[in-house]
Amino acid sequence: MQRSDDQGSLTVPVRLGERSYEVDVTEGGWDRLPGRLRAAIDRSWAGRGCRKALILTDDHVAALPYPGLVRDALESLEIETIQSVVRHGEASKGLGTAEKLFEQLVAFAADRHTLVAAVGGGVIGDLAGFVAATFARGLPLFMVPTTLLAQVDSSVGGKVGVNLPRVKNIVGAFHQPIAVWIDVATLNDLPDRELRCGLAEVVKYGVILDAPFFEELEADAGAILERRPASLRRIVARSCELKADVVSRDEREETGLRAVLNFGHTIGHAVEATAGYGGAFQHGEAVAVGMVAESRLAERLGWVDAAFTGRLIRLLERFGLPTSLRGLAPGPLLDAMARDKKNQGGRIRLVLPRRLGTVELTDAAGVEDLRSLLEDLCRPDAP
């Protein structure tokens, strides 16, 4: 359960035994960071041995105050810092960049107590996390996510990794951070399209786990789009709380529970891959059309009715997200789905809605059901 303080900051615990940590969701409030960091470092194996930190960011975020605020907090704890700035974008999330960071850590005489602080979006979090997971067999990791997507998804849960040239996120580890610090004021600088992409994941939490949260998003959409801090704090904290609950029950995606987070992602990944990464569909946009398509499939199985999908479409459109596969080629989408890592024994496995707030991982739909669905949804005159 999240708790709040008298300045309206919210704290969400992620319960993972000795790897437990807390996610602070604030607006400003950076004067509290040194105390929160000290406590988190002292709880970790690094403890008072932590004397150095590498701050990783990208060139966009380096121009904002946040890496400097993290540096000031660390230096106030007498932790020496160096900063590394990589070029923004997915291309930096690769083994080449990781190798340069390893070399930088060696030159900095880093040891097992050296902290890695990620200040940026999901690319920075995944890359910094990968470096932290592997250098010297594991360094403490501190996440300061600055995109909505990173705040509600990638900074919590411990999945870290890098891409190979043709395969996304294929080299990685589970490596939980020691703390996550989220200032929703960072979102004031975020381009609208990036905000919308994060909102697709927020809507997803409502559909898969929390009907009242979905209703809150419907009611509060205007304030969210205006980036009112109280609304942003609430939706970010609730999203983190929902994700933390899933992660604490299935940290390594072994029981199928964590897989519910992939609602919209099976068709969404296929859309993203066939349209080309960084192309017509960004990740959150692909997830939005993927959720609608997967909801249509659930309709065909008799699990939900058309009104359910209509309601989902209305909320996504309110957030300025795409909802249609019109004009895409169904064949390549199906081929990409056949390669999805959730598949087992030749059956395509998807997470489909049962009702608002409840989904199920299933292989109830066969390849022919999917082919027919995609052919219908991709028609030039499809809704």
The C-alpha atoms of residue 153 and residue 201 are separated, in whole angstroms, by: 7
Annotated catalytic residue: which of 201, 241, 251, 272? 201
User: 148: closest CA among 260, 283, 28?
Assistant: 283
The C-alpha atoms of residue 161 and residue 271 are separated, in whole angstroms, by: 21
How many of the other CB atoms lie within 10 Å of CB of 334? Answer: 19
73 binds, among ligand NAD, ligand GLY, none (CB under 5 to 8 A by kind): none
**210 lies in the site for ligand NAD, by CB under 6 A:** no
Annotated catalytic residue: which of 159, 238, 342, 349? 159
Q: Which is nearer to ligand GLY, 53 or 246 (CB)?
A: 246
Annotated catalytic residue: which of 137, 166, 226, 254? 137
Active site residue 265: yes
83 binds, among ligand GLY, ligand NAD, none (CB under 5 to 8 A by kind): none
Nearest distance from C-beta of residue 42 to ligand NAD, angstroms: 26
61 binds, among ligand NAD, ligand GLY, none (CB under 5 to 8 A by kind): ligand NAD
User: What is the DSSP secondary-structure string of 31-97?
Assistant: GGHHHHHHHHHHHSSSGGG--EEEEEEEHHHHTSSHHHHHHHHHHHTT-EEEEEEE-SSGGGSBHHH
SS3 329: coil
Q: What spatial distance separates the first Cα and last Cα of the chain, rounded to whole Å?
A: 41
Q: Which is nearer to ligand GLY, 67 or 125 (CB)?
A: 125
x/- map, 231-260, ligand GLY, by CB under 6 A: ---------------------------x--
Pairing relationship of beta strands 179-183 and 350-355 according to DSSP bridges: unpaired
The C-alpha atoms of residue 137 and residue 65 are separated, in whole angstroms, by: 31
Active site residue 258: yes
**202 lies in the site for ligand NAD, by CB under 6 A:** no
Query: Site residues for ligand NAD, window 57-76 (CB under 6 A)?
Result: 58, 60-61, 64
The C-alpha atoms of residue 230 and residue 9 are separated, in whole angstroms, by: 9
The owner of tokens 């999945």 is 159
Annotated catalytic residue: which of 233, 238, 283, 296? 283
x/- map, 259-288, ligand NAD, by CB under 6 A: ------------------------x-----
Q: Are 195 and 187 in contact (CB under 8 A)?
A: yes
Nearest distance from C-beta of residue 370 to ligand GLY, angstroms: 22
258 binds, among ligand GLY, ligand NAD, none (CB under 5 to 8 A by kind): ligand GLY
Tell which one of 56, 150, 261, 297 touches ligand GLY (CB under 6 A).
Answer: 261
The C-alpha atoms of residue 26 and residue 145 are separated, in whole angstroms, by: 12
261 binds, among ligand NAD, ligand GLY, none (CB under 5 to 8 A by kind): ligand GLY
**159 lies in the site for ligand GLY, by CB under 6 A:** yes
Active site residue 159: yes
The count of chain residues that interact with ligand GLY, using the rule CB under 6 A, is 5
How many Å is the Cα radius of gyration of the chain? 20
Q: Are 157 and 241 in contact (CB under 8 A)?
A: no
Active site residue 78: no
Nearest distance from C-beta of residue 75 to ligand NAD, angstroms: 22
The C-alpha atoms of residue 250 and residue 245 are separated, in whole angstroms, by: 9
**88 lies in the site for ligand NAD, by CB under 6 A:** yes
How many of the other CB atoms lie within 10 Å of CB of 141? Answer: 27
The residues annotated as belonging to the active site are 137, 159, 201, 243, 253, 258, 262, 265, 269, 283
